[in-house]
Amino acid sequence: MGPYTRTISVGAVIVFGLVFALTGARHTTWEALLPLFEWMETTPPGVISQSYGAAFALVEAAHLIAMAVLGGAVLVADGRLLGLILRDFPLRRVLDQSHRLFVWSLAAMILTGVFMACGVALKVYYLNVFWYKMLALVTGVLFVFFVRRPLLRGDVENINPQLLRLVGIASLMIWFSVAATGRWIGFSG
Amino acid sequence: MKEKNLADGNKDTALAALLAATAVIVGFIIYWADEIQAVREMLELAYG
């Protein structure tokens, strides 16, 4: 693909996302996923979640703490990219340390999230907002590991400051959407 | 040659970031504007 492999890949993912969203493929995929969600409720995490409210509450607490830590890591990194906070600390150090925290909290958030989803699999399956959250989460993960991190891994001082701000704003928007749609699930259905 | 490859790689990463960030910002604005509009319409139905 030549020297612009990453740009072409990003473009292809955007086009694929648009085609998927605007055609019948979205509905077909949704229908095909029903057996998976039915099966999820029969798995040990699904049975435990449905039978022991305390277990679900404990896992949900861990999920919310992981989300808070992830939100903190995102706010620190993007706030520094935007030049709003921690301006006395080297950008490289802030980005590296917050990324480490981000990765661990993301792993915890996904593990606890899957556990919780097993308990209410069929409920969330029929909620539009659950799918918006999954879309935001997948976008966030792809954005962090295939766009943001590769950009910031190099010499950050030589990157156009406007681009850094744009990336910071986009990152904040994605994780805001993940958090907002996540809380929305709690008030739906 | 090595320096040119490095420069091309940096340019590619920056361009990819620009494209992805723009798409995210546009998508975010469209999605949340749509949700806010839906709430406004619901409030209008409820309270006139």
Query: A6 at the B interface (CB within 8 A)?
Result: yes
Query: B25 at the A interface (CB within 8 A)?
Result: yes
* pLDDT tens by residue, B11-28: 899 999 999 999 999 999
CA distance A71 to A175: 7
Nearest chain B Cα distance for residue A86, angstroms: 23
Q: Tell me, what's the ipTM?
A: 0.85
Nearest to B11, CA basis, from A58, A160, A12, A129: A160
A85, A79 contact by CB (below 8 A):
yes
Query: A177 at the B interface (CB within 8 A)?
Result: yes
Helix axes A128-143, B2-47, angle to 10 degrees: 160
CA distance A94 to A87: 10
Query: B22 at the A interface (CB within 8 A)?
Result: yes
A147 to B21: CB separation less than 8 angstroms, yes or no: yes
pLDDT of residue A157: 84
**Residue A188 pLDDT greater than 80, yes or no:** no
B21 to A151: CB separation less than 8 angstroms, yes or no: no
Domain locations in chain B as residue ranges? 21-48
A159 to chain B: which residues are within 8 Å by CB?
A: 14
Q: How far is CA A159 from the centre of its chain?
A: 25
Query: B20 at the A interface (CB within 8 A)?
Result: yes
Q: Grade residue A22 by pLDDT with cuts at 50, 70 and 90.
A: confident
Q: How far is CA A19 from each of CA A12, A25, A139, rounded to the nearest angstrom?
A: 10, 8, 16
* pLDDT tens by residue, A40-88: 999 999 999 989 989 999 999 999 999 999 999 999 999 999 999 988 9
Compute the residue count for chain A. 189
A137, A109 contact by CB (below 8 A):
no
Question: What does the pLDDT average to over A121-126?
Answer: 93
B25 to A169: CB separation less than 8 angstroms, yes or no: yes
Q: How many Cβ contacts (< 8 angstroms) between chains A and B?
A: 73
For A93, list phi and psi in degrees, rounded to 5. Answer: -65, -45
